[in-house]
Homo-oligomer: A and B are copies of this chain.
């Protein structure tokens, strides 16, 4: 039985592929601090389970392909509070932001078409592209430049007749960069000039720690080309609900997305009921979460600064940062930490940086750290990382 080339081209998740090593470490009695996965420890608002517990339909029936009306209305209301003009007709519910991204790639690109991204980027963008025979064209950014965008002419030079979209995460996973108004205007100009899709993955919108967040959804000039990817996963610490949405004011585009929605029938009904309730979470919850993550960002930043040879950027949003480590190979180091190292029975796990690049050879000595633990645990985890760096045989 032949296996397809495209599925073989998929890589295992850099966030999850070391899990067997972590499991083995735990089996030996080690405690592992997980900085590898963006799974917040913040409690999900109780509204979620409360609303689901009250659900009393006798038949768990198919839902609407484009999403339950109550959820779509709640999302539209949320966007209006952010001064973004998205009506219920512009919003389709998806199985997490993941499915929204897949639909966007599918609807904009035929095989061989290209999507521009800024490297390092969320690792699964590679998967969504390769599954669909689409080429990710990565424009490098660097820790030294805080992972901000290069000059307009550098980006423009990467656009070819095959380019169909520019895809950004803002705030960024994995770098934590939040793009400035000027950077967004560069993107907006290029998108309009070349009539490209602008796929804006804004699932970390609430997680901005210095200054106000600006969404492409508030820039009228790009609205016809804009596709927003959103999700309740991070906002309400409900990653396991798998409820996201794809938003566009381009009616021709959304007509196509409806067909994609119909092909998989619908999103799960109970999680939609719960997600609807989440959108009525008081803003005080989001404010408190933001404050907590800001403290964690400050904590991890301060802890990393104490480690000689480690370079990190100054993340302004999301709950990740990329660091350059003084090691031969961050993946080998990560495995070594799990297999061969501990401080009083405790060790740390991170995601190797190479999985966040598509350019071969990039990110070998980098790591993505997710600061999703309590401050005292972050301090302990980074201290363990530092001790490990002192004795790791592959130290540079």
Give the interface of A toward B (CB within 8 A): 1-8, 10-13, 16, 37, 39-44, 48-49, 52-53, 55-56, 58-63, 65, 95-96, 98-99, 102, 106-111, 113, 124, 127-128, 131-133, 164, 195-197, 224-225, 237-243, 250, 252-253, 256, 258-260, 262-271, 274
Contact = CB atoms under 8 A, between A and B. Distances in A.
Contacts of A62: 37, 39, 239-240
B6 A95 contact: no
Contacts of A240: 60-63, 266, 268-270
A33 to B, nearest CB: 16
Nearest to A44: B60
Nearest to A107: B7
Contact of A56 (B49, B128, B243, B256): B49
Contacts of A52: 52-53, 270
B10 A259 contact: yes
Given A95-B264, A266-B240, A6 B106 contact: yes
A4 B109 contact: yes
5 contacts: A3-B108, A10-B263, A98-B264, A131-B263, A243-B268
A106 B128 CA distance: 12
Contacts of A102: 264
A270 B50 CA distance: 13
Number of copies: 2
Instruction: Report, nearest first, the 3 A-B pairs whose CB atoms are least far apart.
Output: A127-B263, A240-B269, A10-B259
Nearest to A103: B7
Given A241-B268, A266-B240, A61 B49 contact: no
B237 A59 contact: yes
Nearest to A262: B13
Residue of A8, A40, A63 most packed against chain B (CB within 10 A): A8
Contacts of A253: 1, 3
Given A58-B44, A241-B60, A263-B131, A256 B10 contact: yes
A108 B252 CA distance: 31
